[in-house]
Amino acid sequence: MVKFCSLFSGSSGNCLFFGTEQTKILIDAGLSRKAIFNALEQIDQKPDQLKGILLTHEHNDHVRGAGILSRTLDIPIYATEGTWKGCMPVLGEIDEKNMVCIEADKPFEIDDLCIQPYRTPHDANDPVGYCLLAEDKKTVVATDIGKMTRALLKWFEKSDLLFLESNHDIEMLKIGSYPQKLKNRILGDKGHLCNEVAAKTVAYMVKTGVTRVVLGHLSEKNNFKELAYITAVNEMKKEGILPGRDATVEVADRYAVGTLYDL
């Protein structure tokens, strides 16, 4: 059985759990060690069983706790060269054997997990998303995405679970209190995915056979759970897809542990 759980998701900190009986990992660790350990306890997982941390990119909300976790548990961090460069000051000292450099489009293995990093359009040094393959199941993690592309859709195909960013509502962002420069950054091709594009992506992916979707990385100021959810559901209904029957859609919480999926 493959397990997946969103421990935290949002602009305030990201950390996802993924694992098989044998191999358990985190994807991003953008919160304190204490917060992450507490969240793991809630899903009956022991931190000392973790075999590694995959980083998507160097932004603080993804890496804040990775250094201390690596030191405490003596586990490797996997990141692209650009991400390593960007996050070294935040991570602090990492044992050389725990610094693993990965490359987009070059799959690698951690025990029985096969991991395929793929490039994402985002304003970081060398950001990636991850396809996680284990026991014939495919889980895709796709956050911090400025725009949807054919290449990304291809990565999402035939996934058993798709964890997709649904960051903001465009209107809320436009009329909100963020400085114009930040608004432009978020709306740009290397910013974040809006509810509308996420919803269209979900509808498209469900039509091609994806049955579990979790929406995540919601903006604190420019979105709320019900809005992200209803935008996706409305788009699915337009395509004749019935949520609950054809696919499940959930929205990950910012601070609370989400559903523990058994795939």
Instruction: Kindly list the residues in this chain that would bind Zn ion in the complex (CB under 5 A).
Output: 59, 61, 144
Rounded CA separation 142/166 (Å): 10
Is 61 or 160 the residue whose CB approaches Zn ion more closely? Answer: 61
Q: Which residue is nearest to Zn ion (CB)?
A: 59
Rounded CA separation 166/40 (Å): 24
Nearest-approach distance from CB 63 to Zn ion, in angstroms: 10
Pairing of strands 128-134, 108-110: unpaired
Is 61 or 169 the residue whose CB approaches Zn ion more closely? Answer: 61
Q: Which of 154, 60, 75 is nearest to 116 (CA)?
A: 154
132 and 140 Cβ atoms separated by less than 8 Å: yes
Nearest-approach distance from CB 61 to Zn ion, in angstroms: 5
CA 90 to chain centre: 20
User: In the numeric block, which tokens belong to residue 136?
Assistant: 């014939």
250 and 213 Cβ atoms separated by less than 8 Å: yes
Helix/strand/coil for 54? strand
* CB-neighbour burial class of residue 175 (10 A; exposed 0-12, middle 13-18, buried 19+): exposed
Nearest-approach distance from CB 191 to Zn ion, in angstroms: 9
Nearest-approach distance from CB 135 to Zn ion, in angstroms: 28
Is 8 or 156 the residue whose CB approaches Zn ion more closely? Answer: 8
Nearest-approach distance from CB 13 to Zn ion, in angstroms: 9
User: In the numeric block, which tokens belong to residue 216?
Assistant: 């995540």
Is 24 or 59 the residue whose CB approaches Zn ion more closely? Answer: 59
Is 144 or 169 the residue whose CB approaches Zn ion more closely? Answer: 144
Is 15 or 206 the residue whose CB approaches Zn ion more closely? Answer: 15
Is 8 or 17 the residue whose CB approaches Zn ion more closely? Answer: 8
Nearest-approach distance from CB 69 to Zn ion, in angstroms: 18
Would you give the DSSP letter of residue 43? T
Cα torsion angle, 115, 118, 121, 122, sign:
positive
Nearest-approach distance from CB 9 to Zn ion, in angstroms: 9
* CB-neighbour burial class of residue 97 (10 A; exposed 0-12, middle 13-18, buried 19+): exposed
